[in-house]
Amino acid sequence: MPITSLLSAQQLTCIREERILFENLSFNINAGDIIQIEGPNGAGKTSLLRILAGLSQPYEGQVSFNQIPINQDREYFNRHLLYIGHLAGIKGEMSAQENLRFNLALNGLDASQAETTLGKVNLLGFEDALASHLSAGQHRRIALAKLWQSQAPIWILDEPFTAIDKLGVKKLEQLMIDHAKKGGCVILTTHQDLAMPTELYQKIILEYRFY
């Protein structure tokens, strides 16, 4: 079976506050890939994710989806992307279910399935609780719940395991594996080691640069 390249990064250079985070970075991300972006704080991990998601522009280089530059047809790319940033983005004055319904609708997913989806992240019983009364881990699970509905082939996740317990991490890793097996790809950052077998994922390692 031929390898299907989903995302292609060509000669990416990123500069922040007059410091080069990375330069001339090129790689392909194929269907079935799980890619961990690794490196110390300040190495540019989040910046790279945002460039791959089209939320930031590189100083030089470009990102292509299905061989089409992502800035050439943003709507086409966005239909195939699910990005979850480091911040949960949860509104404290809304309930867990209201937050998830809003997030699902924002991503073009079935908001009527919010309660069922909350069950998949062990939040049944908390669906009517105000988010301001929930823990950081519960906020994170609300934000991640849309992964259980997403049909987007490209998942870009910034620190998805933050404040998640061991059982939650295990379920999320299995979801990533299942997504990759179905022909999707996952690009993520995490400060903890992945528990999945090493043959199932690859690493892109960024180094901290002082200039």
Q: What is the strand order of the sheet 68-69 is part of?
A: 19-30, 5-16, 60-65, 68-69
Reported as a single tens digit per residue, the pLDDT across 102-138 is: 988 888 888 998 999 999 999 999 999 999 999 999 9
Report percent pLDDT > 90 for the chain: 81
Start-to-end Cα distance in the chain = 44
Q: Of 26, 18, 38, which Cα lies nearest the Cα of 159?
A: 38
Question: Confidence band (pLDDT; 50, 70, 90) for 1?
Answer: very low
Compute the distance between CA of residue 159 and CA of residue 87 in angstroms, rounded to an integer.
Answer: 9
- d(CA 175, CA 88) in angstroms, rounded, equals 19
- The whole-model pTM stands at 0.93
Q: Where do the domains of the chain lie?
A: 5-205
Topology of the domain covering 5-205: Rossmann fold (3.40.50)
CA nearest 187: which of 18, 67, 36, 14? 36
- The predicted pLDDT at position 107 comes to 81
| Confidence (pLDDT) at 2 | 54
